[in-house]
Amino acid sequence: MSPHPDARALRDAIVRGELSASEAVEQSLEQAQGEGARLHAFLVVDAEGARARARELDARRAAGEDPGVLFGVPVALKSNLCLEGVESNCGSRILEGWTAPYTATCVQRLLDAGAVPVGMTNMDEFAMGSSTENSAYGAARNPWDPTRTPGGSSGGSAVAVAAGIVPLALGSDTGGSVRQPAALCGIAGFKPTYGRVSRFGLVAFGSSLDQVSPLARSVGDLELALSVIGGHDPADSTCLEENAPQPELAQLEGLRIGVPDALLSEGLDPGVRARVEEAIAHFEAQGAQRVAVELPHAEHSISTYYVVATAEASSNLARFDGVRFGLRAQGDGSLDGMYAATRGAGFGAEVERRILLGTYVLSAGYVDAWYRRAMKVRRLIAGDFERAFESVDLLLTPTTPEPAFALGDKADDPVAMYLSDVMTVTANLAGLPAVSVPCGFTREGGVELPVGLQLIGPARADARVLGIARCFEETTEHRRQPAPRVAEGGAA
């Protein structure tokens, strides 16, 4: 049985009786334990729970119960989301074996719509990274070329969708952690307006930046996912007091597209630049207008982001203090022995680096020079967007400065790795909705690699951004079936 490319198509096939929820889930589990294992997409495959859930759905359907909009659809969850009774280890040894005592709001809404979680996906430890190489359990691999990164930190979720294991997955996006892997894996990923989706049940990294975000192989499925997981949640005080947005009709005729030309110049891979320019030309051919815009403070976005994000991480991760989490039975019981035992089950190098940096920028004597100054620049960045949206309907940029890079290429150079997010962090700093959609391929080293196009809209304009992205998708040929299966450790 071939994988279904869309959540809608799969749900409709189940409702029509072409296959059962159990059959759909069994197919997904087989792929998760086969192709998913080869690409290291999952940290936990909950086969028993998924099968039980599918059997329950089939029984409810047989009893005449109306199916939900995601009835029987297998989904994957990033390992920093809580699903009661299932291990959510955040890609860290410090949480190895920890099972969630409750279910995240966004996950519960998927369950209420009839979805079936099949497992928890690989990720950079505590969502800190851009390649999944910071996972304590080993890196995930890009389905287009397993020698390359799928991106991060939601790399496992992107792989699960791109490889056809599930049609829909959830990740978290703090500085581009859904859009960047979506671009590198040739699928669609959407970061909603901050507060659009409840963060209750998401293990926090940077609380003012984090946003639960869906990944799919079509923009239509992103719209469907947002309509399910979005909306007010009294358990999250930062959640917008609005209903989830519904899909909007959109057209490209008359659309004003702001293009920050500075982001199409230095440091951009030639193949990525060519595909993005072709995408802009396509918009213009459909009646859109290209408008040059300036984001004068965008050049400070990476440094601002890594001050704000690490400061918040330092605070959020203080709970993992080796008393309640991380201790193991080994050791002689002495303080020194417990410390030595904890080091083997504690934070990885990147998480330690960010905690130390965050602690430093919040420390007495430095908080004004670093953290408070970064917050001022953050407000300037948000102001740049507000002024830009006075003259344009949305902004267009590449999602990433380059296609998927080889595993190991940036592992020893944290700054080079941080620059992978240079196109995406501004939307998080300003709390804006942003989507990445495929816009073609470029060849590198004899390998055809996907390129992503990013569309950014004003705050709360989630439906408009997705509607325009859907128009682009429907009028181009860039949307494809799941990535081709390739030989172990090699390229297609």
Active site residues: 78, 153, 177
Residue 275, Cβ density class (10 Å: 0-12 exposed, 13-18 middle, ≥19 buried): buried
Instruction: Return all residues near 242 (Cβ < 8 A) that are at least 6 apart.
Output: 196, 231, 232, 460
Give the amino acid at 244: A
Instruction: Return all residues near 312 (Cβ < 8 A) that are at least 6 apart.
Output: 204, 205, 206, 207, 208, 209, 358
Query: What does the alpha-carbon distance between residue 199 and residue 235 come to, in Å, rounded to a whole number?
Result: 9
Residue 71, Cβ density class (10 Å: 0-12 exposed, 13-18 middle, ≥19 buried): buried
3-state SS class at 146: coil
Q: At what angle do helices 219-229 and 7-15 cross, to 10 degrees?
A: 70
Query: What does the alpha-carbon distance between residue 465 and residue 456 come to, in Å, rounded to a whole number?
Result: 7
CA angle, 197 then 123 then 136, to 5° = 140
Query: What does the alpha-carbon distance between residue 354 and residue 344 come to, in Å, rounded to a whole number?
Result: 19
Cβ(485)–Cβ(35) below 8 Å: yes
Rg (CA), the chain: 21
Cβ(310)–Cβ(358) below 8 Å: yes
Q: At what angle do helices 270-285 and 462-474 cross, to 10 degrees?
A: 90
Consecutive H or E run containing 187: none
3-state SS class at 259: strand
**Letter string b/e over residues 308-324, b meaning 16 or more CB atoms within 10 A of that residue's CB:** bbbbbbbbbbeebebee
Consecutive H or E run containing 480: none
Fill in the DSSP letter of residue 79.
T
Task: Single out the residue of 481, 482, 477 nearest to residue 279, CA to CA.
Answer: 477
